[in-house]
Chain A
Amino acid sequence: MELYKHTALEIRDMVLDKKVSSTDVVKDTFKRIDSVEPKIKAYLTLCKETALAQAGKIDEKIRKGEKIGQLAGIPIAIKDNISTQGIKTTCASKILSNFTPPYDAYVIKRIKEEDGIIIGKTNLDEFAMGSSCENSAFGPTHNPHDLSRVPGGSSGGSAAAIASDMAFISLGSDTGGSIRQPAALCGVVGLKPTYGAVSRYGLVAFASSLDQIGPITKDVRDAALMMNVIAGYDPQDSTSVKEFNSSKVEWFKRLEDGVKGLKIGIPKEYFAEGIDKDISKSVYQSIGLLEKLGAKTIDISLPHTEYGIATYYIIAPSEASSNLARYDGVHYGYRTTDYTDLMSMYHKSRSEGFGPEVKRRIMLGTFALSSGYYDAYYLRALKVRRLIKNDFDEAFKKADVILSPTSPIPAFKMGEKLDDPLQMYLCDVMTVSANLAGIPGISIPSGFTKSKLPVGLQILGKPFEEETILRVARTFERETDYHKTKPVI
C-alpha cells in the first residue's frame, strides 16, 4: 500500500476520512520497518503489539463516531531518553539497559491524549551526548542517505527513522543541536522549541538548562502539528512558561502567509572558514530564494559566537555530572556484580555502566564545578552565556529571523571522528548558541551536496516565536522539493 510515504497530516486525514484504518497504517509502518530497519538500526525498542492494540481502539472510536484527537492513528517514534510508562527507557546506556519507568513524560501523555500511536523508542548517543549517534551502548544508527555515514546526533535514531519512512513523526531532544544537526544530516525537518515551551517532565536530563524536546518530521506542517500537541504550560516543570499556552498559539494560521517584508539576518560569524563548500553554496542559494519570495536580508553580527562551543562544553557537562550522579548502582539500573563495599559498588557500577563519552563529560563537569575552579570555568561560562544571549537580543532588534547552515559539514563516515572528541564537538558550532540563549530554531532540508548528502538550513527565531520560523520554513518548503527527495535504501 506504501502508506509510509505520506506525511503525518495526510495519514491523519485519511484515517479520519475512513480512507484507511489506523490498524492498516500501523501494519504498513511495521512492514516498512521490517524491510529497512536491519540496515538503518534506528530503533532500540519496538512496540508492535501495543501499537496495534492502540490502533484498534482508535478505529473503534472512529467507527462509533467518537471525538478523535489531533494525532489520530499517526505512528510516532520516541527518542529513548523520554520516559514511557511500561516501555523500556534506556538512554542507550548500559546503566539503564533494563529500566522501565513507572510514569509517562508530559509529551507522551499529550501524544496519548491526542490519539497518537507510539511504535518504538529510537537510538541516540548515550544520554544524548554526541553528534553522531555512534556513542550508543547498543550500536550505531546508519544514515539512510549513505549507510556508511552517521545520521548525526544525538537524536540520530529519531532523524533516521523519519528519513527512512519508519515513522511519521518522531520526538528528539536538543541540548546543543541534537535535533537540528541530525535532521540536517538526514534531510528532514527538526525543530528545537524555545526553552520553556515544551515541558521537560520525563525527559531524562542531560543538561537541564539547555535540554528541550522537539519534533522531527517529514515536512514543516507536520512539525506545526506536533508543536500544537506538545507545547504548553505544565505545572510539573517549573521552567515551563505559563504565558506560552499552546491554545493561544495558532500553529497553522499564518503558516502559509509567506515572507514578504520579513527581515532575515545573516550573521557573518556563521559563514566563516571551516564550512563545507557545497553547504555554504547551498545555503546562499536558499537565502537567494527567500529574497526572491519577498524577504529582505540584512547583515548582522553575533560577536560572541566563537565562545559558544567552549561555553557549552563547560555548562552542559557541569549539569550532566550532577544529573547523572543518580546512576550509582543503588536504587535502579545497572549494578556491578563484583564489589566489596559501598565505594567499590559506586566505582564499578559507574565505570562499567557508562560509555567513554559520558565518562569524559562527567569528569569535565566535575572538574569545572569543583572548588577552586568554579569561578574560572562555570561562573565565567555563565557570564559568556549571558553575552551570547545579549548578542541575539541585539540581532533580533533588527532581524525577524536569523539564517545559517545547520551543520558546517554533511554526514561524515562512521568512525571518522570517533577518536577525536574535539573534532566531533565542532559539529555543534552552528547550533549550540540557540540552546545557550534559549531561542527556537529549525533545520529544514535545503539541498544536497555533490555526493548527494542532505544539507540543512537553520532558521533561528525570537523566544516563543516558533510561528515565525515555521512560516519561513514553510515558505521555503512550498517552493522546493528537497524534503520530498527520499533516500534509496
Chain B
Amino acid sequence: MDYEIVIGLEVHLQLKTDSKMFCGCRNKFGAEPNTLTCPVCLGMPGILPVINKQAFDYALRAGLALNCKIDSFTKFDRKNYFYPDLPKNYQISQYDLPFAKDGWLDIKLTTDNKPLTTKRIGITRVHLEEDTGKLIHPEVRQEAGAEKTQLGYSLVDLNRAGVPLLEIVSKPEINSPEEAYAYLGALKEIMQYLEISDCDMEKGSLRCDTNLSVRPKGDKKLGTKAEIKNINSFKFVKNALVYEAKRQTELLKKGEPVIQETRLWDEKEEVTKPMRSKEEAHDYRYFPEPDLVPVIIDAKWLEEVKKNMPELPETRRKRLINQYQISEHETNVLTQEKAMADYAESGPVRTKTARNLMLGIVLQIINERKIEFGEFARKVPPENLLELAEQLDKKIIVSTMATTVLGKMLDSGKTAAEIIKGQGLEQVSDKSSLEPIIKEVIKNNAKIVADYKGGKKTAIQSLIGQVMKASRGKANPQIVKELLAKLLDN
C-alpha cells in the first residue's frame, strides 16, 4: 500500500517593532537579562496592557501578503497556563477571532530534472500574541569533556516577555518534507520583504512547530498526528519531518498505531523522541481579555497599511525582468534575499559586468566564507562593486583577477582601484614587457612547443596558462595569445 504524508506548520515570528506588544519597553535581542522590562511586561499587580499599533500594522501586512480575509472585528483572549517564563501566568493571544484567516501561499518546487512547479498551500489563520520570557538553567562549570550537571535552580530573563509574535498556521496541505522546506523558505522571504521580522531561527525570531501524520494514499480522513516542537533550523525541520514520516509509515506498515503526542527533534541522534511531559492535556481556559477593548479594523486603516506595504517578492521579480531586461533565472538569483535585491537595484543591476559579478564571484565568496549578504554589503557597498566592474570593463585588470581583488575589498573595505594600485595588479598589455616572459616560457616548454608545431593547436592553452602564472595573473590573455601565436608560427 502507498502512504501519503500530511504536514501542517505553525510558524511563530517575532515582529521587529520598536517596542513590545503591550508596553513601551524596547524590543531588542541580546541585551543583559531583565534590562528591557517594566511593570507591564513583568506582570506586576495592577498593570494594564495597551496594544502596540505598529505591531498591528505589521500583522496586517502579513495577513494581506498571505492573501487572507481580514476581519473588521477582532479581539484578544487570555490563554491561561502556569509557567515561570510567563509573568502573568496567562498569555494575551487570539483565540476564536483571529484578525486574518483563509489565505494562501504559493511555493515553488523543483524535483530532479523537472521544470519548476508551483503549489498553493492554504493558510488557516494569522494571529497576534505576546512572547514569553526565557528560562536559564545554570550549569556547574566542569573540566572539559566531563558530564555537565545542572545547578539546583533556574533563572528567568523577561526581556523577551511581551515581544510581539505573529502566529501563522498553515492548512494540512503540505505533503512532503521538501514542500515544508519550500513553504518555510517562501514564508521567510515574504516576511523579510515585508520588513516585519528578521526571521532568524538562531535568534529565535522564527520558530516552527510541525504536525505530521501519515495515511493510506487516497484516504480522506487524516491519520493520527504527532507534533514536533522547538526545531531551530530549516534543515532540521526537514530532517525531523523525513525521520518522522518514515517512523510513522513503518508503524502503519507493521499494523501498529501512531500515538498522538508531542515529540522533540534530537539533533545529535537525528531522531524524534517523545517529550517527557506529564501534563500533556492542556486546558488553556481561553476567555476574552477584559483589559483590552475589541479592535475594529476599518477600511481606512487597511488602506493605510496597503499604502505602506513594501513590494512583495513576486511583484519585484516581474518588475525587474521588465525594467532591466534580465532573464528569469538571473532575477530569481538576485532576489533570493531581499538584501541582495536591494543591493542590486541600488546600482549593480544596471550594468552587465556588475550583474555578472553578483551572480558569480559575489555569491561564490559569500558561500565560501559563510557570511550573510548583509555583512558583505556593509563591507562592499554597491558603489565599490560598480567600480570593480568598471576596472574590468576598462581592462585595467584581467577578469581572472577579479576574485582576488574582491576578496581583498571584503577584507579591507577598500575600493578596487586602491587595491589594484597598491598591489600592482594592473593588467599588463604592453608587448615589450610581455615578450621576454613568453620567450622564456617557449624555451622551457620544448615538448609542448613541439606538439603545437606538430599540429596540436590546442597546446597553446597550456602555454598561455604558463605565461599567466609567470606574470602572476596580470598578463592580458588576449595579447599573450596573439604574441605566442606570432612567435611560434614564425
Contacts and interface: CB of A to CB of B under 8 A. Distances in A.
A99 B49 contact: no
B45 A322 contact: no
A204 B39 contact: no
Contact of A91 (B43, B45, B51, B285): B45
A321 to B, nearest CB: 8
Contacts of B46: 81-83, 89, 101, 105, 201-205
Given A82-B46, A238-B293, A101 B78 contact: no
A370 B283 contact: yes
Interface string A45-78: 0000000000000000000000000000000000
Contacts of A274: none
A218 interface: no
A238 B45 contact: no
Interface string A231-262: 00001111100000000000000000000000
A239 B291 contact: yes
Contacts of A209: 290
B160 to A, nearest CB: 15
B287 A369 contact: yes
Contact of A201 (B48, B78, B87, B156): B48
Nearest to B38: A103
A378 B45 CA distance: 24
A101 B285 contact: no
Interface string A275-301: 000000000000000000000000000
A236 B39 CA distance: 12
Contacts, number: 93
Contacts of A331: 42-43, 87, 156
A328 B156 CA distance: 14
Contact of B51 (A208, A238, A369): A238
A201 B51 contact: no
A110 B15 CA distance: 35
Would you call the interface of chain B mostly helix, strand, loop, or mixed?
Answer: loop
Interface in B35-66: 39, 42-51
A91 B46 CA distance: 11
A239 B50 CA distance: 10
Contacts of B287: 318-319, 322, 369, 374, 378
B350 interface: no
B285 A238 contact: no
Contacts of A202: 46-47
Given A322-B78, A342-B84, A238 B44 contact: no
A235 B45 contact: no
A366 B293 CA distance: 23
A208 B291 contact: yes
A237 B82 contact: no
Nearest to B282: A371
Contacts of B232: none
B399 interface: no
B89 interface: yes
Interface residues of A, number: 43
A236 B285 contact: no
B89 A101 contact: no
Contacts of A371: 283, 285
A105 B82 CA distance: 26
B90 interface: yes
A102 interface: yes
Given A325-B80, A331-B43, A236 B290 contact: no
Contacts of A330: 84, 156
Contact of B285 (A103, A208, A370): A370
Contacts of A342: 84
A346 interface: yes
B292 interface: yes
Interface in B67-90: 78, 80, 82, 84, 87-90
B282 to A, nearest CB: 10
A57 B50 CA distance: 35
Contacts of A322: 78, 80, 90, 285, 287
Nearest to B90: A322
B285 A366 contact: yes
A462 interface: no
A238 B295 CA distance: 11
Contacts of A366: 285
Given A318-B287, A322-B90, A370-B283, A101 B44 contact: yes
A81 B46 CA distance: 8
A326 B87 contact: yes
A298 B89 CA distance: 49
Contacts of B42: 331
A126 B91 CA distance: 25
Contact of B45 (A83, A207, A328): A83
A282 to B, nearest CB: 36
Contacts of B89: 325-326, 328
Contacts of B47: 201-202
B42 to A, nearest CB: 7
7 nearest A-B residue pairs (beta carbon): A325-B89, A208-B290, A209-B290, A369-B285, A204-B45, A83-B46, A202-B46
14 contacts: A83-B46, A101-B44, A201-B46, A205-B45, A208-B291, A235-B50, A238-B51, A239-B292, A319-B287, A319-B290, A326-B45, A331-B42, A369-B285, A371-B283
Given A89-B45, A207-B290, A328-B82, 19 more contacts: A101-B46, A103-B44, A201-B47, A204-B45, A208-B290, A209-B290, A238-B48, A238-B291, A321-B80, A322-B80, A325-B80, A326-B43, A326-B45, A332-B44, A346-B82, A366-B285, A369-B285, A369-B287, A374-B287
